[in-house]
Chain A
């Protein structure tokens, strides 16, 4: 009886020899079966060798971390007590300050989207600012603060010994411009939080950021300025740079415009800190999952331009662009098509225009459609 391709290929564990035997007399059907079998047996999607090695090394790192702690637990415990005592003795004061800022920053409640920008003073008093762009200016002792274009003045009392932290929380749709007590300036983008001492009294000027900010740091060689974040620390003396460390992003980045900065990050969450020196025009991107930093040359202005009210994108993916716009305009933008997310756009976008005008502009060169559904914008 003459068998068709499907009759022979349906067998469990069918092989090329089976086909050869079955179709010795029928060359056409043999050829078809053969073609279909080779086509179907071949994997259509592959991991590259590099990807396989990478997954393997991540697995290795993960299991070694676990067994390391298991086996060396006693040793490690002893060592850490020793280190703690030593550190406590030697750097008591220093450590206390550093620790306090990060601990304080991370103890604050998670970002909540308010309608006003909030300035939280050291004694817990809050100032709500309704303007689209808040202006906050500290006097050199940190006790007097001017707010807004009409320079409304407020005062806070600072304790002599303890550092007094202040916090600015900028919701989506708003921005803030701060002058810190040392004269350094910080522009905060939508959805950001900055924690800083009202006056810089210790040996280092340390601030903590979550979100995106452009820093123009007042030069002071005796007191390095350190921007801390959940991703990395940036140490500078005097310089202009942008950092973007949104906790809901997969990547954090720093872009340097002038001067030089040092980026410290923790590749594996243990003790070893890695350092990356950056020169003007460098952009360092930290992949938060892999904890690896890559650098590339960019035009730094592209990353600072939002301060002046426009975004300039260079072959940037639609996914990333929409995330920025969604924060800037405080609108919920939904994009579910993954292929569309990877489409790119190059060009400048005026941020004083409405979100619709901006989307219409991008739409001219990057093919997509959008519609409004209530408060949401759906991209398709």
Chain B
């Protein structure tokens, strides 16, 4: 953690001193996380892409006057949030709270692809996906910021314009409702598994 902070600081410093390579390294390093952050606020992918592009062009243009920053990531998120807000209020076709179309292309690692494991993994994803959709927009954003973008509670609070306390509450409640949905399902699976193991114990005749 420490050394990555130092690297980050160095990258930022090189970039501010006019090193183009450092600038594009910044881009490579942050474009994914900026996108996954931005899409939480605006469901139009193209607008998020445009804003990210603008953000980096501005960053480059004003690099000489940028200050030393503790967290590049937070600085970038804040700027992107501002740009998106401006863009969305300009565009009548996009509303902030439009239903997000959740499409998951999560990958299951090979070691976890055991016969039963894989099926239940897919099922778990489905349950979590549904459960996530039922959370409030605010809760979804807070979760993404904490777990995808790895931001701290105080950063989340600041980006969402809420108190640190309500950032905590939002995340706590969201986690709790995800956990409840999973526990419910888990009980059902356990029952199924017992039946499955029982039939296995009948011997070879059952395995084809």
Contact = CB atoms under 8 A, between A and B. Distances in A.
Question: Do A and B actually bind?
Answer: yes
Contacts of B125: 39
B182 A62 contact: no
A40 B179 contact: no
Contacts, number: 108
Given A36-B182, A47-B31, A336-B93, A59 B56 contact: yes
Contacts of A338: 43-44, 93-94, 98
Interface string B94-128: 11001001111110000000000000000011001
Given A4-B179, A43-B148, 12 more contacts: A6-B179, A10-B171, A12-B153, A13-B152, A33-B179, A36-B178, A40-B144, A40-B148, A44-B104, A45-B36, A55-B49, A336-B92
A36 B172 contact: no
Contacts of A35: 124, 128, 182
B143 A6 contact: no
B134 interface: no
A46 B152 contact: no
A66 B61 contact: yes
A58 interface: yes
A36 B179 contact: yes
Contact of A42 (B98, B103, B148): B148
A25 interface: no
A138 to B, nearest CB: 42
A9 interface: yes
A113 to B, nearest CB: 19
Given A12-B153, A28-B186, A40-B148, A55 B31 contact: yes
Nearest to B179: A5
A32 B186 contact: yes
Given A35-B128, A40-B143, A339-B101, A63 B179 contact: no
A55 B52 contact: yes
Contacts of A363: none
B186 A59 contact: no
Interface of B: 24, 27-28, 31-33, 35-36, 39, 43-45, 49, 52-53, 56-57, 60-61, 92-95, 98, 101-106, 124-125, 128, 143-144, 146-148, 150, 152-153, 168, 171-172, 175-176, 178-179, 182-183, 186
Nearest to A341: B93
Nearest to B140: A44
A52 interface: yes
Contacts of A42: 106, 148
A66 B23 CA distance: 15
Contacts of B35: 43, 45-47
A40 B176 CA distance: 13
Contact of B175 (A10, A13, A51): A10
Contacts of A336: 92-93, 95
Contacts of A39: 106, 124-125, 128
Interface in A1-49: 4-6, 9-10, 12-13, 28, 31-33, 35-37, 39-47
A4 B176 contact: yes
B158 to A, nearest CB: 15
A63 B102 contact: no
Interface string A39-80: 111111111000110011011101100100000000000000
Given A41-B148, A45-B36, A36 B175 contact: yes
15 contacts: A10-B172, A39-B124, A39-B125, A39-B128, A40-B144, A40-B147, A47-B35, A55-B52, A58-B53, A59-B60, A66-B61, A336-B92, A336-B93, A338-B93, A339-B101
A32 B179 contact: yes
Contacts of B124: 35, 39
A178 B54 CA distance: 44
B147 A41 contact: yes
A42 B32 CA distance: 11
Contacts of B44: 338
A33 B180 CA distance: 11
B149 to A, nearest CB: 9
Interface in A309-340: 336, 338-339
Interface string A235-275: 00000000000000000000000000000000000000000
A192 to B, nearest CB: 25
Contacts of B150: 13
A338 B93 CA distance: 8
Contact of A44 (B24, B36, B49, B171): B36
A269 to B, nearest CB: 16
A63 B52 contact: no
A36 B105 contact: no
A40 to B, nearest CB: 4
A43 B32 contact: yes
B60 to A, nearest CB: 5
A98 to B, nearest CB: 33
Contacts of A52: 31-32
Contact of A51 (B49, B146, B179): B49
A60 B147 CA distance: 31
A353 B91 CA distance: 33
Interface in A258-310: none
B165 to A, nearest CB: 12
A86 to B, nearest CB: 34
Contacts of A12: 152-153
Given A13-B150, A59-B27, A44 B57 contact: no
